[in-house]
A and B are shown apart, each in its own frame.
Chain A
């Protein structure tokens, strides 16, 4: 639960992000899928290395944050580092479709099928 994050206070986050509180790519949506493109290198920051291990299969930004027990904001900063260096790529959510709904009826049909199959 979040309590473990709360108890640690901000100091750890300050260290993890090298003092940055912003600079995370705002285009990184909570459900943007991150995929590792190359292996961790020796001496790499441990959080970066863990993300590369986690994302050998696609993983959403929000899931990376939960599994690292770090706030999404902090993870966006870490991911931006990895994106800039080419270690990972990002698969952004669909944003086509109408003004209020970002996907096509065909995609919604797929979702219905998946729900029925649960």
Chain B
């Protein structure tokens, strides 16, 4: 493991702006592993609740008479400088958890969709929603030793050519860093494109 920072790591007194990046994917795909690889604190876990207020917006098919739903998520943190601090959220990508995302995504810089080539169908819904809401995202294939090429994965996901797709090993800090760097660069390109339009 990397050397850092005990659990007592605190932010600078001048910290003023929280930033967020969301890592989404199916269960067991390595979201928390990726967050842990780059976080300066051991990933923490908490819960968010959808109350009745969100019920009209989200599909509640299959959970009748339910006014609240709770889901757990993990997060880590990277101090950017004296004023900015970046939070990385690992969130389950399934449709029934989308209410959590709507909240987490508000104001997010962008998203990483972490995929396992053996279970690509787990990420279809996430990718559709991200495209629909215009959140910049990259797709990272957490390679568990699969023989699929990135071209095959891009095809199977029907991914737009403009969306970056890369291999990663979520356990490795350098690899996890590369995923985040690719996302931030992609966000910059997206902003530059908006400025031109």
Interface, chain A (partner B; CB < 8 A):
1-2, 5, 21-22, 29-33, 57-60, 62-63, 65-67, 69-73, 91, 93-95, 97-103, 105, 107-108, 110-116, 118
Contacts and interface: CB of A to CB of B under 8 A. Distances in A.
Contacts of B135: 100
B197 to A, nearest CB: 10
B81 interface: yes
Interface string B15-54: 1111110000000000000000010000011111101010
Given A101-B190, A105-B188, A115-B184, A57 B10 contact: yes
Top 9 A-B pairs, shortest CB-CB distance: A31-B18, A66-B44, A2-B72, A66-B46, A71-B47, A57-B10, A114-B80, A58-B15, A65-B46
Contacts, number: 154
A110 B17 contact: no
Given A31-B107, A33-B11, A73-B51, 14 more contacts: A30-B20, A31-B18, A33-B16, A33-B17, A33-B85, A57-B11, A57-B15, A63-B44, A71-B49, A102-B109, A105-B191, A107-B84, A108-B184, A113-B80
